[in-house]
A and B are shown apart, each in its own frame.
Chain A
Amino acid sequence: MAYWFPIKISVTFLVLFLFSPLSSLGQDGSSSSVVASYQIDVTLDNEKKKLYGDELITFTNISETSLDTLYLHLYPNAFRDEKTTFMRECPKWFRRRVARRRKWGYMDIGNVEIAGGVGLNDSIIINETVMKVVLPQLVPPGEEVELCVEFTVQLPEVIARMGYKGDHYSIGQWFPKMCAIRPDGSWVNHQYHCSSEFFANFGTYDVSFAVPEEYVVGATGYLQDETVDDEGMKTVRYNAETVHDFYWEADPDFTVTREVFDGVEVSFLCRPAHKRKIPRVMETARMALNYLGEWYGSYPYKKLVITDAETGPGGGGMEYPMIVAVEFSWLLPKSIRFEEAVLIHEIGHQWWYGVVASNEFEEAWLDEGINTYSTRKVLETLYGERDNFIKLFGLTLREPQYERGTYLMKPKSDPIVKDSWEFENFLSYTATVYSKASFMLETLERYVGEDVMREILRTYYQRFSFRHPTTDDFIAIAEEVSAQGLDWFFEPLLYGTGVCDYAVTWIESRETYGVDKGSTPERYRTKVKVERLGAVVMPVGVLIELEDGESINKNWDGMDRWVEFEMETGSKIKSAVVDPESKIVLDVDMNNNGMTVASQDLALFKIGSRLLFLWETAIQCLTGL
C-alpha cells in the first residue's frame, strides 16, 4: 500500500495536476502529488551574505481531518550555533571545524499572515528548525489555505551543502517549507538532525531570485524569464511542477556546458579549476541517465543541472529535483572514480528521492540503499566489475569493496528501518542505510535473479512515481514481482540487528576398507561441517570438491546453528565452500566460507614476503632520520 491516498482532491490541485506535463505519470489517479506550492521572491545581499524573501504558500489539506495547525521547516536554523540539535548530534570533528569559523547561519521570520490579511505573528511558535502556526480557523479536508511568510536568511559559510564560500553560493533548504502531512492528519515535523535528510510533499514552485548581474545560476525548474535592473541586479524566475524541493546555486565564475541526451538538456556549471573534467562529467551523466532510464523508467523532466559545488563539511554531493551538486577536486586523477561515483549516485537520486519520494527522515534506506545499489550497477556496467572505483599504480578497488569496508565497521548496531537520528552514530547510519541496505538488495538480486530484481525496481519506480512509498510498499512489490513470499528475507534484515555469517568449520575424509581389509582403501567417509555463526537465516548451497575432480552440491536451509554432511566418496575431500556462488553479499566474513585440506601457507608467504619488504623499507626510512 502506498504511504497515503488523499481522500479529497482540491480544485486547485486538480487544475495544476491536469495541466502539468507530469500528470500522465500519476499511476492510478488517486495520488495527490501537489500538496504544497510556493511562490517565492528572494534577493541575495552579496555583501552581508543574506537572503531577503517573501513567499506565498498554497497548502492543500489532503488529510482526513480538519487542521487547526500548520508546521513549517526552518532548516537554516540548524546552523545558528553549536547548541542546535543538528550540531549537537554531529561528530566532534565536524562541530569543531564549523565552530572555529564562527560563520553561522539562521533564518528569521518576519510577518506571517493568511493571504488576505489575517495576521498570524502571535500564533507562531518556533522551535529551532520547526515553526508551528496556529490557524484562526480549521482547514477542512480537501480545502486549501494560503500563507504569506516574510523571511530573512543569514547564510552560513557552507555547512552540509548549504551556504556561501567566497563568492560561491549553494542555496538548499533555504525557505520556510511546509512539513509533510500524513493521511491521518499527523505531521512529519522532525527537527533537522545531523544524520537525516529531508521529506516533503510535492508541489509547484514559482521562484524569482535576484542576484548580482555577473552571477551564473543553476536551479531546479525551467527558466521563465531573466531581467537586469539599473542597480546591476539580475532577477531570474524559475518554475517547477511536481517537485518537492527547490535548490539554486550561483557563482560568478561558472562556465556552462550544455548537451541534450535523449531529450534531456544536461547542463554542467563548472568552475575554472575543473574545466578539464567537463568531458568526463558529461559522459558520466549521459551514461547514468541512459542506464537508469533503461532499467527503471525514464527520467521525467526535460532538464538536469550538474553544479560544481562547494559542499563544505559534511558535503561531497547532494541531490535536489532536477539539479545535483557535486564537489569536484582538481587533484583527483581519472583513475580514481570517486567523483564519477558521487555524480552517478546523485543522478540516481532523481529516481530514488526526486520522483519516488520516500521519507528520508524515517526510512532513509528507501532512497539511499536503493540508490547505492543502483549506483553500483551503473558503475559496474560502465567500468567493469574489477576496478570500477580505483585503478592506481596496480592497486584496484571495486565500489562494493569500498562499501564493504563501511558496512563491516558497523554491521549490527542498528536495524535498517529506523528514524535517521536514532542510529547509534553517523557511522552506523551510513553503514546501515547506504552499505548494508545496498548489500541486502544485492543479496536479494542473487536469490531472485538480476532480471527479476530489475523488474522489482522498475515496478516500484513506475507505481510510486510522484508518490511517497514506504518499506511495506517495497516489500509488497518485491513479493508480487518475484511471485514468492519474502518475509523470511526482509524481516530480519530490515528490522533486526543480527548479522549473516556462514562458515565451513570442519572437513575430513577417512579411509574405509572392504571386507578383505587390503592396504588400499576402497572408499572414504567424508564429513563437512557448516555453521551459521550469525543470527540471520538464509538458505545456502555447499560445494564439496574431491581430489579426483568430482563435485558434490548440497543444500541447507540454514535454520539450525550447524549442519554436518556425511557421505561416502570415491576419493578424499579437497575443499568445501558454503555459498559457493557468493549469493550472500551480506556475509560479514567471507574468508571463513571455504576450507581446504591443503594449507594455503604458500600464498600467505608470498603476501608476507611483500609485506616484509614494505616493512623493511618503512623501517629504513624511519631509521634514516
Chain B
Amino acid sequence: MSTFKHILTGVKIVQKSWPLIVVTFAFKFALAFLFVIPLQNLASEAFGYRPAAELLLKEWNLTPLIDFIFNNLNVLKQYGYFIVVGVIFALTLHTFLSGGFFRALAVAQHGEYETLSAERFFGWCGRYFWKFMKIALISAIFYVVITFLFIILSTLGMRLILSDFTSEPVRIFVALGQLITLLLLLLFINMIMTYVKITTVSDEESQVLDTLGETVEFFSKNFGKALALYGGLLIGLLFFWGIFWVLQMGCGLLPTTMTIIALFILQQALSLTRSWYRLVGNASHTSLYFNNRAIR
C-alpha cells in the first residue's frame, strides 16, 4: 500500500472511531482553559477597569504589558510553577489516554467494533497505562540523552573539522544546521516511539523492552515506508497550521467583539482539526504496521 492509501485508511478508521476525537478535543480544550484562565483573571485584576488595556489592544503599545509583567513578577513566577505542574499532569493524562487511543485504532483495523464504548476505551486506558508510562519515560530518556550526545559530539566534531573558522556567517549556518539536525533526530525518535506504542497494543503479552526489539525489527524492513508516511503527515500538519495561522492573523482586522468570537471559533476548529489529524496519523501508522509486520 502506498503512503497515501495508509492515510486514507487512517481517515476511514477515525470516521468509525469518532468518539476518540471528542475525547482528544475535550482534553485539549480543558487544558487550554486550565492554563489560560488564571492568567486571564490576573490580567483582569490589573486591567479590568484600567484604560491602559486600550493602549495594548489598539496600538499594540507594549508599555502596559511591560508594567503588568514587572509589577506581577511574583505572581507570574507562581503561575510558572503551576504551568510546570500542569504540564506534568497533562503529560500523565495524555499517557493514560494514549493506551486507549492506540488500542482502539488497532482494534478498528480489524473492524472488531461498530461503535466504541466508553467502558471499553477506558478499560484499555487502564490496561496499557503502566506500559505506556514506561514508554513515555524511555522516550524522555532518549530525548535527553540524544540531545546531550548530539550537542557534545557535534561541537567536538565541528571544532576538529573547522578549528580555524572565524567567519560569523559560517558559525551561524553551522549552528542552524546543528539545530535542524537535532530537531530531525528528535522527530525520528518520536517516529520510532509511535511504532513502539502500536507494537505494544498489538501484542498484549510482550513487555515494553521486547516491543522495542520488535519495532527495531519492523523498522529494519520498512524504514523507507514509515519515514515517507511520517514525513507526509508532518507536511500535512504544517499545511493545516499555516492555514489557521493566516486565518487568525486576518481576525485582527475585525471589530473587537467579532474578533473574540472569530478567534474562539477558529481556535476550536484548529483544536478539533488537530485532534482529528493526530488520530488519522496514528491510525495511518497502525495501518502501515499491520500491513507490513512480520507474521509470527
**Chain A at the B interface: SS class:** helix
Q: Is the CB of B263 within 8 A of A595?
A: no
Contact (A607, B43) CB under 8 Å given A401-B66, A616-B271: yes
Does A520 interact with chain B (Cβ within 8 Å)? Answer: no
Tell me the complex Cα distance, A408–B48, Å: 22
Residues from chain A with a CB closer than 8 A to the CB of B267 are 609, 612-613, 616
Instruction: Look across to chain A and name the residue whose beta carbon is closest to the beta carbon of B58.
Output: A603
Contact pattern, B 43-87, Cβ under 8 Å of A = 1, otherwise 0: 110111111111011001011101110110000000000000001
A263 to B291, CA, bound (A): 81
**Are B70 and A408 interface neighbours, CB within 8 A?**
yes
Question: For window 245-278 of chain B, which residues contact chain A by CB distance below 8 Å?
Answer: 248, 256-257, 259-260, 263-264, 266-267, 270-271, 274, 278
Residue numbers in A under 8 Å from B161 (CB-CB)? none
The interface stretch among B29-37, B122-130, B149-157 is B29-37
Residues A590 and B63 in contact in the complex (CB < 8 Å), given A408-B70, A609-B263, A612-B267: yes
- Interface positions of A from 336 to 373, Cβ below 8 Å from B: none
CB of B174 closer than 8 Å to a CB of A: no
Determine if B39 is an interface residue (Cβ-Cβ < 8 Å): yes
Q: State A329–B167 Cα separation when bound (angstroms).
A: 11
Query: Given that A330-B169, A613-B266, A613-B267 are known contacts, is A619 also in contact with B64, CB under 8 Å in the complex?
Result: no
Q: Are B167 and A273 in contact (CB under 8 A)?
A: yes
Determine the chain A residues whose CB is within 8 A of the CB of B237 once the complex forms. 624
Residue from B32, B241, B270 whose CB has the most chain A CB atoms within 10 Å: B32
Chain A residues near B270 (CB-CB < 8 A): 613, 616-617
* B266 pairs with A404, CB closer than 8 A: no
Which residue of B32, B60, B68, B143 contacts A591 across the interface (Cβ within 8 Å)?
Answer: B68
Whether, in the assembled complex, B293 has its beta carbon less than 8 Å from a beta carbon of chain A, the answer is no
Max chain A C-beta neighbours (<10 A), residue from B44, B53, B68: B53
Tell me if B206 counts as interface (CB < 8 A to partner A): no
**Which chain A residues lie closer than 8 Å to B241 at the CB level?**
617
How far, in whole Å, are A588 and B50 apart by their CA atoms in the complex?
Answer: 15
A611 interface hit (Cβ, 8 Å): yes
Assembled-state Cα–Cα distance A534/B87 (Å): 38
CB of A9 within 8 Å of the partner chain: no
Once A609-B263, A610-B263 are accepted as A-B contacts, the answer to whether A273 and B67 lie under 8 Å apart by CB is no
Contacts of A598 in B (CB 8 A): 49
Task: Assess whether B169 is in contact with A607, with CB atoms less than 8 Å apart.
Answer: no
The CA-CA distance from A409 to B241 in the complex, in Å, is 36
> B57 contacts which of A405, A577, A588, A607 (Cβ < 8 Å)?
A607
A575: interface (CB < 8 Å):
yes
| Shortest distance between the CB of B225 and any CB in chain A (Å) | 21
**Contact status of A589 and B49, CB under 8 A, knowing A613-B266, A616-B28:** no
Known: A609-B260, A625-B190. A604 touches B44 (CB 8 A): yes
Docked-complex contact B53 and A600, CB < 8 angstroms: yes
Which residues A318-343 have CB closer than 8 A to chain B? 329-331
Q: How far is the CA of A620 from the CA of B27 in the complex (A)?
A: 11
For A604, list chain B residues within 8 Å (CB). Answer: 40, 43-44, 47-48, 53
Cα separation A608 to B37 with both chains bound (whole Å) = 9
Q: Within the assembled complex, what's the spacing in Å between the Cα atoms of A620 and B244?
A: 13
Query: A596-B49, A600-B49, A616-B270 known; A330 and B263 CB under 8 Å?
Result: no
Q: Across the interface, do B263 and A602 meet the contact criterion of CB distance under 8 Å?
A: no
Q: Are A594 and B51 in contact, with the CB atoms below 8 A?
A: yes
**Chain B nearest CB: distance from A582 CB in Å?**
9
A137 interfacial by beta-carbon distance below 8 Å: no
Per the bound structure, the CA–CA distance linking A617 and B270 in Å amounts to 9
- Cβ of B172 under 8 Å from chain A: yes
User: Once the chains bind, are B51 and A409 in contact (CB under 8 Å)?
Assistant: no
Q: From known contacts A600-B48, A603-B47, infer whether A620 and B28 are also in contact, taking CB-CB under 8 Å.
A: yes
Whether a CB of chain A sits under 8 angstroms from the CB of B166 is: yes
Residue B12, interface by CB 8 Å? no
Label chain B's interface by main secondary structure: helix
Of all chain B residues, the one with the shortest Cβ separation from A400 is B63
* A607→B57 CA distance, assembly (Å): 7
Taking a contact as CB atoms under 8 Å apart, the answer to whether A612 and B169 are in contact is: no
A600→B51 contact, CB < 8 A: yes
Mask: chain B, 182-196; 1 = CB below 8 Å from A; 0 = not: 000011001000000
Contact of A603 with B274 in the complex, beta carbons under 8 Å: no
B109 to chain A, nearest CB (A): 23
Rounded to whole Å, the gap between the CB of B177 and the closest CB of chain A is 14
Complex: how many Å from CA A624 to CA B56?
32
What chain A residues lie within 8 Å of B16 (beta carbons)?
A: none
What residue in chain B is nearest A405 (Cβ atoms)?
B66
Residues B70 and A596 in contact, CB atoms below 8 Å apart = no
For the complex formed, measure the closest distance between the CB of A503 and the CB atoms of chain B, giving whole angstroms.
10
Mask of A395-420 contacts with B, CB within 8 angstroms, 1/0: 11110010011001100000000000
Q: Is A601 an interface residue (CB 8 A)?
A: yes
**Residues on the A chain within 8 Å of B168, using CB:** 273-274, 329-331
Which B residues touch A599, using CB under 8 A? 48-49
Contact A602:B256 (CB < 8 A) given known A575-B51, A615-B35: yes
**A and B contact pairs by CB, cutoff 8 A, 19 listed:** A331-B168, A331-B172, A404-B63, A405-B70, A593-B52, A594-B51, A602-B260, A603-B54, A604-B40, A604-B48, A607-B57, A608-B36, A608-B40, A609-B267, A611-B36, A611-B40, A613-B267, A615-B32, A625-B187
B contact set with A: CB distance below 8 Å:
28, 31-32, 35-36, 39-40, 43-44, 46-54, 56-57, 60, 62-64, 66-68, 70-71, 87, 90, 94, 143, 166-169, 172, 186-187, 190, 237, 241, 248, 256-257, 259-260, 263-264, 266-267, 270-271, 274, 278
Instruction: Write the residues of chain A forming the contact surface with B, with a CB cutoff of 8 angstroms.
Output: 165-166, 273-274, 329-331, 394-398, 401, 404-405, 408-409, 575, 577, 588-613, 615-617, 619-620, 622-625
Known A609-B264, A616-B270; 9 more pairs at CB < 8 Å: A166-B166, A595-B51, A600-B53, A604-B40, A609-B263, A610-B248, A616-B28, A616-B267, A625-B186
A-B CB proximity, top 6 nearest: A408-B70, A609-B263, A600-B53, A603-B57, A594-B51, A603-B53
